[in-house]
Amino acid sequence: MLKRTNKILQVITMLVALALLGSGVATASDQENTVNQAISVLDKIMEIPESAIPPSLLSNAYGIAIIPGVIKGAFILGGRYGEGVLMVRDSGGGWSNPTFLSIGGGSFGWQIGGQSTDVILVFKSQRSIEDIKKGKFTLGADAAVAAGPVGRRVEGATDVMLKAEILSYSRSRGFFAGVSLEGSVLNILWEDNTAYYGRDSVTVEDIFAGRAGSPASAATLRRTLGNYAP
């Protein structure tokens, strides 16, 4: 009985820690780490063409969110939380500097434990990006989201691609596949943007337009994404 009680307390502590992940003061070094992790996630996901995001989807995408290490914990009431970057096509057809954002959501179930997953969201048009800028954005409610096809299976996923504004993917324990993320909430991390770019009140528009400066890690991320999504 005591052993079971200790296990319950450990899981509850983990869930409390998840809730507090986004409450700390942001520092530039934190965001450098997030950007570098996003670069690593891209490389790992795209290194095996047969199980990667189809290049044709990336080449035609308007925006992409890369969220490394989304943590999921559950004990009766579950939840997930992660922080990553969002980039869009710039006026020249290349990729913008990243704005920072979080993903969070909850679910019910009896699973006990935690899991870390890399998440990628591919945005097909500008509409959803504009809504994200305005505030809280819920996948599945504010825009249709569906598990994206991988490898060369684009032709067989025509219905999914036509109906969904956003295609979602996940990578966990080396396995990469489309995933359903309906109900997850996206939020812009304003303090993280301020810390990374070193400017008070920096806006998402400033970042996407290149008016907020360009840290070296951002340039590396742009080049990496450009290699996979020209």
Q: How far apart are CA 89 and CA 203, in angstroms?
A: 17
The two three-digit tokens of residue 14, written as one number: 């983990």
At 155, the pLDDT band (50, 70, 90 cuts) reads low
pTM of the model: 0.81
Contacts of 190 (CB under 8 A, 6+ apart): none
Q: Which residues pair with 171 in a beta bridge?
A: 118, 176
Beta bridge partners of 63: 88, 123
Instruction: Give the integer Cα–Cα distance in Å for 3 and 5.
Output: 5
Could you read off the pLDDT of 93-152 as tens digits, one per residue?
999 999 999 998 865 444 445 667 899 999 999 999 999 988 889 988 889 888 888 876
Q: What kind and span of H or E run contains 205? A: helix 204-208
- Burial (CB < 10 A; 0-12, 13-18, 19+), residue 213, is middle
Amino acid (one-letter) located at 79: G
**Quick one: pLDDT at residue 224?**
96
Q: 130: closest CA among 143, 141, 120?
A: 143
The number of beta carbons lying within 10 Å of the beta carbon of residue 215 is 18
> Which one has a higher pLDDT value, 159 or 190?
190
Parse the chain into domains and list their residue ranges. Answer: 2-228
Three-state DSSP class for residue 99: strand
